Amino acid sequence: MSTYLLEIGTEELPADLAESVISQLELSVNNDLNSAQIKFSEISVTTTPRRIALTIEGIAPFSEDNIAERKGPPVSQAFHDGQPTKAAIGFAKRYELSPEKLEIRETSKGSFVFAKSIEKGKPVTTLLSDYLPRWISKIQGRRFMRWGKGDFRFSRPIRWIVSLLDSEVLPFKISGCDPEIQIGNISRPHRLYGAKLKINDAKTYFDQLQDVGVTVDRGRRLSCINDLVLNHEIDKKVKPDLTDPLLNELTDLIESPLLVTGCFDETFLELPPEVLSTVMKVHQRYIPLYKVNVEFDPLSLDSKNILLPTFLCISNGLPTAKEKIIKGNEKVLKARFADASFFIKSDLLISSSSRINKLKDVTFAEGLGSLYERVNRIEWLVKLLTLKLEFDQEDIQKSVKVAHFSKHDLVSNMVDEFPELQGIIGSKYLLHEGESRDVCLGVLEHYKPKGTSDSLPSNNLGNAVSLGERFELLISIYAKGERPSGSSDPYALRRAANGILLILWNKDWQLNINKILDDSLIYWQQLFPSLSLDISNLLSELKEFFRQRIISLLEEKDVEFDIIQAVAGDTTSTSKLLDDPTDVYFRTSLLMEMRKNNTLNLLQAVVTRASKLAAKSSISKDVIDPLDFVDRSLFEKDCEREMFDVLEKLKPLAVNCDRDKYKLLADGLVSSTETLSNFFDGEGSVMVMTEDVNLRNNRLNLLTILRNQSLKLADFSKLG
């Protein structure tokens, strides 16, 4: 068995392409090798900034023989007096066999002749030469480009290709490349180690590259960087801020990791920690050093008790050049910090209130006015939301103030240069001007959550404005006529709706989204008469969008599918779901807990049986009181009376359910399962579908009201 190596050598690849390339190439190779019945033991794809490497271990020299069997004519037609007929001769000839090679087999329809054809396996060298150009051309990513005079596209220009089956070059051609890419056994070492490197054998590839400064294996490079940082000899009271995104980015920017330590002037610690950290991590890919056991204040105006005036850098240089590398990085960082300091000082010359007027000059979206007008819409929504959520008057006023200042820093010099600091730097400017901490914290956190795994605002003001901003975005973009579709969601509307639901669930806030949408669209119609809004249609679309987000979020929270369907499935109206989305989340959690405690199955069996019979009743699903629909004088057996008593006991729990009543209703239904079961199967059970119409309807009404009471929890018929 052999080893095949493909190395695609390029100019520096974008760091965010690596993981995508690995999965794409692995999938293409796996599919084609299996489809062609080529035996192999392992496929491995890895990347560095200058190369994509594929190795196929234990690859067979030939594909497997393809054995095919074909059924022919019946024996009675294929042979006459032991001699093949024209039918047998023609059938055998079709598969390049002599008639004597045909096999006779018994089938359920009698005796037939069969032909077995064997297509010999093809040389792997031939098959790979056909597959390789396709594997390379199928790789996709952002901003692919052409170079030279050819039409072939790739992430960056391909400069060389190594194609080896063991030690032999396996040639192939990529069409559309001009100049033509040379395919052979010549690779490139680390840029500082020389110009060319001959790969002797596919099996020696990784070792040969390691000797010339290239750690080809991406996983090994990542572990090396992580170990270098975590094992660096620094004060135990310091923690390197090496996040997973930064670690991955460094891995895909460096071929030979070298750790160096740099310093910066302590005067820069007068800048906020987020400013220093953003410059270091996002713009320079350095690793800041934080002091441990220090309580981090998100509104801190300086970094004196938070950061060390030191940083770590993962370089792609030679160990002999450490001093030059350190000096170069320190010089660059000093200039970036000086710029940030200048921008902050110039921003502080203008009050936050004055900056708000500048938002009039920034367009939010075509047809939706300026950012200033958007802020006004957010303020209107925040007033509406805080009233619905029953904030006290002081918090309503503070929430509106947060909304008012929520976007002022978008026209600051700092955010213009460092967009990552929007909200963050604005909150610090407000604190510097003497604004209250809770208002500043609301401005800081109103962008949260940025995703389902992100933290949520920590105070009510931030949560209220976060809700307002997301509602404004959804309503405005829908009013504008744009919708998310497939993977396209340029305004991140799905994330906005998710954020609304996550905040409501986390705060256990009861908010009628139907009412918010109703009131808002009437107001939007007044604001944008030129859009000619179809309110009815917009409401329907927005409500359905929220419904899908509820289901999607519940799935992300590992709520089982049948429980989601029982609470938020098609038997529950969209309007009912949006009357109180937190109610939906509470009931799914309650059912999950009941399933975990093995009480759900007991209840499900009885309620489902009752529901099937209740389908024959004409009583509305809203009826939960047995008094008006059940005639106790028609009871013939104790089980009917006991069933009625259960319904009477559960009735007050099924009216206007709240969190406590749901639990009591669930407990009451579970504790009554034996009584309910006896109605069907006990010694004194009854025949529900008796011929006596009055008795039958009376018993069906009992079961229907039981179903209706249980529907307050869920549609048990949807549970698996």
Report whether pLDDT(12) > 90: yes
Domain of 50, CATH number, reads 3.30.70
Confidence bin at 211 (pLDDT 50/70/90): very high
Residue 184 sits in which domain range? 2-62+123-211
**Overall pTM > 0.85:** no
Between 384-393, 509-518, 688-697, the lowest mean confidence (pLDDT) is in 688-697
Same-domain check for residues 534 and 424: yes
Angle (CA) 353-359-365 rounded to 5° is 150
Tens digits of per-residue pLDDT, 45-88?
Answer: 999 999 999 999 999 999 887 777 888 889 888 888 888 888 88
Position 539 in a domain: yes
Its sign, for the CA torsion 247, 250, 254, 257, is negative
Same-domain check for residues 370 and 455: yes
Same-domain check for residues 320 and 239: yes
In percent, the amount of the chain with pLDDT more than 90 equals 65
Q: Are 383 and 396 in contact (CB under 8 A)?
A: yes
Q: Which residue has the tokens 């059938």?
A: 91
Same-domain check for residues 405 and 504: yes
Confidence bin at 235 (pLDDT 50/70/90): low
pLDDT of residue 234: 64
Which residues have a Cβ under 8 Å from the Cβ of 493 and sit 6 or more positions away?
A: 473, 474, 477, 478, 483, 484, 545
Position 573 in a domain: no
Same-domain check for residues 527 and 380: yes
Between 47-56, 172-181, 259-268, 307-316, the lowest mean confidence (pLDDT) is in 172-181
Report whether pLDDT(250) > 80: yes
Position 591 in a domain: no
Position 572 in a domain: no
Position 409 in a domain: yes
Same-domain check for residues 47 and 91: no
Burial, 106: exposed, middle or buried (Cβ in 10 Å; 0-12, 13-18, 19+)?
Answer: exposed
Task: Compute the average pLDDT of residues 341-350.
Answer: 96
Same-domain check for residues 367 and 515: yes
Position 312 in a domain: yes
Report whether pLDDT(435) > 80: yes
CB-side exposure of 219: number of CA atoms within 13 Å?
Answer: 4
Q: How far is CA 663 from CA 594, 681, 712, in A?
A: 10, 27, 11
Report whether pLDDT(656) > 80: no
The Cα 333–Cα 339 span in angstroms is: 10
Same-domain check for residues 71 and 57: no
Same-domain check for residues 392 and 444: yes
Q: What is the CA radius of gyration of the chain?
A: 36
The Cα 205–Cα 139 span in angstroms is: 23
Domain boundary among 169, 184, 211: 211
Domain boundary among 173, 193, 211: 211
Q: How far is CA 558 from CA 482, 562, 563, 567, in A?
A: 31, 11, 11, 15
Task: Compute the average pLDDT of residues 117-139.
Answer: 90
The Cα 378–Cα 372 span in angstroms is: 10
Task: Compute the average pLDDT of residues 350-375.
Answer: 95
Task: Compute the average pLDDT of residues 179-198.
Answer: 92
Specify the 3-state DSSP secondary structure of 205: helix
Q: Are 153 and 146 in contact (CB under 8 A)?
A: yes
Position 569 in a domain: no
Identify the bridge partners of residue 48 per DSSP, sorted by sequence position: 51
Tens digits of per-residue pLDDT, 683-702?
Answer: 888 888 888 889 888 988 88
Position 327 in a domain: yes
Same-domain check for residues 239 and 198: no
Strands (E), 15-92: 42-48, 51-59, 66-74, 79-80, 83-84
pLDDT of residue 294: 83
For the chain, give the mean pLDDT: 92
Same-domain check for residues 412 and 318: no
Q: How many domains does the chain have?
A: 5
Same-domain check for residues 7 and 138: yes
Identify the bridge partners of residue 312 per DSSP, sorted by sequence position: 261, 287
Task: Compute the average pLDDT of residues 543-569.
Answer: 94
